[in-house]
Amino acid sequence: MSKNLLFISMFGELEHYNPKEFSNICSTGLEKDWILAWHGPAAREMDFEMMSVDICRGDELPNHEIVDSVILGGTLHVIDEDRTWLVCLRNWLTAYRSTSRPLFAICGGHQLLATQFGEGQLVPRPAGTLAGTHEVQLTEQGRAHPLFSGLGATPKFHFANYLHIEPSAAQRDGVLAVQSDSSALVIDHGDNWFSSQFHPESRMETWTCTYARTHPDYLASYAAEHDGAQLIANFIALSARELS
């Protein structure tokens, strides 16, 4: 029997994210739909059925007890804003955490896990916004971790963040990837929870639509190819092993 993989989109409310501006990615312009198109085939290869919700647009989260694995997307909001959907998400994640089932959180999701399910600090990047495709350096633990199976010591990923995490002492033990000015780009939080500051789920089209109107100068910094799809596939494979 197939297991299910839930993608939770929290990309943004209309003030930050108008799906009409993303209609060249998919007909609806909704992140929850283009992620299914991009990563659903990899999920099916590993006997997962992928489903998705957009909590910024009123979609309800399913009962946590019937969810086998989760990818939590990034957001154009700040994760400590007073938003009803953020409160609901935190409550849902608290319940899901008790199952010890796998979860991978991205960018704002990474920041949420590190600060609200741990003692990391959310702070501005000293150099400002990092937008583009950049190498990360794997720690010794990261080089041996199944999330980075098949990748070299310095894989490349798409970034889009002006805040980042200063890890707590406990979180430092789980850091899998760093840069010279960011000391916690990927964290293994234990009990099958992982998170990254960068965007492995994304493609070049994501950033073309996100920044074409507001920051066209960022676009030249993005490469057409990065290692994100492999990392997502590795997480799905890890989930399959943990649930077998």
Task: Give the angle subtended at the CA of 84 by the CAs of 122 and 48, to the nearest 5°.
Answer: 80
Total domains present in the chain: 1
Q: 3-state DSSP call for residue 104?
A: strand
Contacts for 91 with CB less than 8 Å, ≥ 6 apart: none
Mean local confidence (pLDDT), 15-19: 96
Which tokens in the block code for residue 206? Answer: 């994501």
Mean local confidence (pLDDT), 11-34: 97
CATH number of the domain at 23, please: 3.40.50.880
Report the pLDDT value the prediction gives residue 51, as an integer from 0 to 100: 98
**Least confident interval from 1-5, 58-62, 83-87:** 1-5
Give the structural domain span for 199.
3-243
Q: Percent of the chain, pLDDT > 90?
A: 98
Rounded to whole angstroms, how far apart are CA atoms 63 and 110?
Answer: 22
Q: 3-state DSSP call for residue 144?
A: coil
Is residue 1 predicted with pLDDT exceeding 80?
no
Q: 3-state DSSP call for residue 162?
A: coil
